[in-house]
Chain A
Amino acid sequence: MPTSSQTAPGVVVVGASMGGLRAAEQLRAAGWSGPVTVVGDEPHMPYNRPPLSKEVLASDVTHPAVAFRARASTADVAWRLGTPVASADLAARTVTLADDTQLPYTGLVVATGIRPRRLPCPGPVAGRHVVRTLDDAQNLRAALRPGSRVVVVGAGFIGCEVAATARGLGAEVAVVAPEAEPMTRPLGAELGAALRRRHEARGVVFHLGRTVGHFSGIDAVTGLVLDDGTALPADLVVEAVGSTPNTAWLDGNGLDLSDGVLCDALLRVEGRPDVVAVGDVARFPNARYDDVPRRVEHWSIPTDTAKRAARTLAAHLAGEAVDGEPFAPLPAFWSDQYAERLQSFGAPGLGVDDIRLLEGDFDADCVVGYHAEGRLVGVVALGGGAAATAARYRGALV
């Protein structure tokens, strides 16, 4: 197979955020010297999302302050920003943009991430926010004032971070969620309860075990009514109720898109040696734990998956044997709520049925271990020096 970079169309990366950038960089690191084109629907060069629920809401932050620095090796990468890919034909090896431009490829990287799920409840739309993009965060910042009545729907990490930041700005904040405690799925009920108490001590009011019935107001939201009839006044609502993977552009290719794009242990989109996926959109098995493919929405994952996926794709494009060692990254994530740092290593969500306090006290600085079949699968540290504390347990993790 000739792989001349002069004549081959090259690699097309769809999605111009962290995963897409890292994929471009790692293709170069893996030896691919042919053309690379990154297509993204946002108008911005790739930027860092964690500040969106923190610093960007709390102060006037613009794109340069959150933009990723790109490796020098990507100087010749072509960026096509501001237009989404509408469809792909994996048999013909082409993608088609919304403006009808068709791009052929020899290798394709799926890096389209996720978008926030929206509440299907009736009522006005104005005044309802989500936080996924820089534009979302800047819009929310513009609407937030000291004394604003903010209702956050959803008590996952993003909802709780937005609640903390809004409270820090002097807003009155309520959180509505169907779970019994915030962040239960990733962290378990005990730590979730401890985090709730920290929020409550700062004046956040929780309505747990509740869902939204409808929004009230004529032109814009003035409040919402919960399933038990409770009426909450609101100047603005933030919906942080989970996400939907951006895979519609891959429809019609016979792929399993039931929750992101299904990948094998080398991050190839199943049955396609020339297509790989990275970041939040990729559903892949982690050999460290088991063979169940899962999506992982942590900041560490775009970089880890890009590194592995680029090696897989670059070897295939060069006609070389693909390293068969299954992907087995150690996930890591953090969260900042008020001045508190939460640091996690491993997969605490897999061990929420066997939680052990390893150090400290749930209501002060603590380290919590998560076990599956008696093995330590995740560790979470909370409080001052959490990152260094959690890191001490890294070696003990499965």
Chain B
Amino acid sequence: MKVVVDMERCQDHGQCVFSAPEVFQINAAGRLEYVADPDDALREAVEDAADVCPLQAITIED
């Protein structure tokens, strides 16, 4: 699975982190970091993360 976060849109809300902590993290500087090619087993969690992003910045490009 391929995940893309539009970092122009992302405002570091961090909501995605609660849904898929294996994939999304807020680093010490307060900015989002993420795994771009997570295991397919995490698909449901990543879909949930994309749903809860207030900026709708996360896309899943299979």
Contacts and interface: CB of A to CB of B under 8 A. Distances in A.
Interface of A: 22, 25, 29, 48, 50, 68-69, 71-72, 299-300, 303, 332, 334, 341, 343, 385, 387-388, 391, 394
Nearest to A306: B51
- Closest 8 A/B residue pairs (Cβ): A387-B13, A387-B14, A303-B51, A385-B30, A388-B14, A391-B14, A388-B30, A388-B26
B38 to A, nearest CB: 16
Interface residues of B, number: 18
B13 to A, nearest CB: 5
A332 B11 CA distance: 16
B51 A332 contact: no
A334 B30 contact: no
Nearest to A394: B18
Contacts of A391: 14, 17-18
Contacts, number: 35
Contacts of B18: 391, 394
Contacts of A334: 13, 54
B56 A68 contact: yes
B59 A300 contact: no
Contacts of B14: 387-388, 391
Contact of A69 (B11, B15, B30, B56): B56
A332 B59 CA distance: 22
B21 to A, nearest CB: 12
A68 B50 CA distance: 10
A71 B47 contact: yes
B5 interface: no
A22 B51 contact: yes
Nearest to B15: A332
6 contacts: A29-B44, A50-B54, A71-B47, A300-B52, A387-B15, A394-B18
Contacts of B17: 391
B54 A69 contact: no
Contacts of B54: 50, 299, 334
A50 B51 CA distance: 14
A48 B50 CA distance: 13
A387 B12 contact: yes
Interface string B16-43: 0110000000100010000000000000
Nearest to A66: B56
A299 B30 CA distance: 23
A385 B13 CA distance: 9
A303 B15 CA distance: 13
Contacts of B59: 69
Contact of A388 (B12, B47, B50, B56): B12
A206 B54 CA distance: 30
Contacts of B51: 22, 25, 303
Nearest to A68: B56
Nearest to A384: B30
Interface string B43-62: 01001001110101001001
A385 B12 CA distance: 8
Given A334-B13, A387-B14, A388-B14, 8 more contacts: A22-B51, A48-B56, A69-B59, A300-B52, A303-B51, A387-B12, A388-B30, A391-B18
B8 to A, nearest CB: 12
A252 B14 CA distance: 44
Contacts of A48: 56
